[in-house]
Structure 1
Amino acid sequence: MRILALFLFCFQQAWCLNNCPQFWVPISGSCFALLHDKVAWASADEFCKDLGGYLAEITSVDENKGIINYLEAKNPTVKSVWLGGTDILHDGTWFWMHSKDPITFSAWVSGQPDNFHGENCIHLNRYGSGTWGWNDYDCKTKLYGLCETDLQGPEFG
């Protein structure tokens, strides 16, 4: 009976169904956090792993919009963040590093990806016009990392 009461209480509370670790924000069924130091793509990936996540894998228009809204609200000076996509194994064949899934949804800006001078990593970038879009970029460039992890459901017992 106690478990049922706890479940019913929890079901009525949105925060209970959208549990994210401290300092992470729920967006479109996952939790996201922005690293506060600029690092190369591989380092961002490692930091995200150390925090129990991975570089963000954006899989829908709604998720892309939610992340942009989060970035603009969290720190309006942030203009570019690493995402978890790469074509490091074969130029032009983009996949998400954590899940190993091919990238099926994308928000590339016009003319991208272009593999200019061996760009193999994806970043989400805010352009001068205020619009956001994906671009392939040199993986050694230091940018903020955007981490993702799964929502944590309520624990019963």
Structure 2
Amino acid sequence: MELRGICFVLSVLCLLQMTHQQVDKPKAKKNAPPKKVVVTASMIEDIKKQIDHILEEVNLLKEKQALQSVCLRGMKVRSKCFLSMSGEKKFHEAADDCIMHGGILGTASNDEENDALYDYARTAVGHDRDIWIGVSDIVAEGSWVDVTGAAVNYTNWETEITLQPDGGTKENCVVLSGPANGKWFDQPCRFKKNYFCEFIIS
């Protein structure tokens, strides 16, 4: 389908170029032989640029369509879409899987997102499950960063029953807990948990 569209555009561009040349030429005498159309390197270069531009726009449309599909299957909060992924993985495996799907491991950056993630988790994986979120202190103990390496400005640690985070160097990755109403706990990164990927939409 795309190839046919590109071929069609190429044909139209060539016809337009030829028509433009015909209009600019002075009228030939009736019995004069028809002149050959000369295709220059600059004309070919212009057409290539136009094709590249069209392909770029097609790819952008594909990306937007894919993100809309993610939002339809997942959950949208402001400019983010969260999508529950199938199965359980270790923290690093989950983070890698999200990158392979064009996103990052989901992270709440305010109360609204955290509450929405908690509600989504209850319907997607069950109210008694924990999900990985993209927060860890693997690089430096006690310095919590997201998967991009940026310092975390929002946290939702459990502090009423247990004083989280409490795992020290043995628990460097963070879960949003279903049983604890969306509160955060630090856990060993090797544990297998459910996870959500996050996609930014404009």
Higher strand share: 1
Q: Does 1:105 align with 2:157?
A: no
- Indicate if the aligned counterparts of 2:122 and 2:178 stay in contact, CA closer than 8 A: no
CA deviation after TM superposition for structure 1 residue 20, in Å:
4.9
Q: In structure 1, what is the equivalent of residue 103 of structure 2?
A: 53
Q: Does 1:120 align with 2:172?
A: yes
Q: Which has the larger radius of gyration?
A: 2
CA deviation after TM superposition for structure 1 residue 77, in Å:
4.9
Give runs of ≥4 in structure 1 deviating > 4 Å: none
Q: Structure 1-normalised TM-score?
A: 0.76
**Stretches of structure 1 lacking an aligned partner (at least 5 in a row):** 1-15
Higher helix share: 2
- Indicate if the aligned counterparts of 2:74 and 2:81 stay in contact, CA closer than 8 A: yes
CA deviation after TM superposition for structure 1 residue 25, in Å:
2.3
**Stretches of structure 2 lacking an aligned partner (at least 5 in a row):** 1-64
SS of residue in 1 equivalent to 2:83: strand
**Residues 122-150 of structure 1: per-residue CA shift (max 9 Å, x gap):** 111122xx522101100000001111011
CA deviation after TM superposition for structure 1 residue 101, in Å:
1.6
User: For residue 73 of structure 2, what is the amino acid of its counterpart?
Assistant: F
Q: In structure 2, what is the equivalent of residue 139 of structure 1?
A: 189
The 2-side partners of 1:20 and 1:29 are apart by 14
User: For residue 89 of structure 1, what is the amino acid of its counterpart?
Assistant: V
Report the CA distance shift for 1:131/1:37 in structure 2 as closer, same or farther (over 3 A).
Answer: same
Q: Does 1:80 align with 2:80?
A: no
SS of residue in 1 equivalent to 2:93: helix
The 2-side partners of 1:69 and 1:23 are apart by 15
- Indicate if the aligned counterparts of 1:27 and 1:67 stay in contact, CA closer than 8 A: no
Report the CA distance shift for 1:62/1:90 in structure 2 as closer, same or farther (over 3 A).
Answer: same
SS of residue in 1 equivalent to 2:112: helix
SS of residue in 1 equivalent to 2:132: strand
The 2-side partners of 1:102 and 1:148 are apart by 17
Q: Does 1:41 align with 2:91?
A: yes
**Residues 8-62 of structure 1: per-residue CA shift (max 9 Å, x gap):** xxxxxxxx9x935363321232011111111100000011111111101211000
Q: Comparing both chains, which one has the higher relative contact order based on Cα–Cα distances under 8 Å and sequence gaps of 6 or more?
A: 1
Q: Structure 2-normalised TM-score?
A: 0.60
Q: CA RMSD in A?
A: 2.0
- Indicate if the aligned counterparts of 1:71 and 1:78 stay in contact, CA closer than 8 A: no
Q: Percent identity?
A: 23
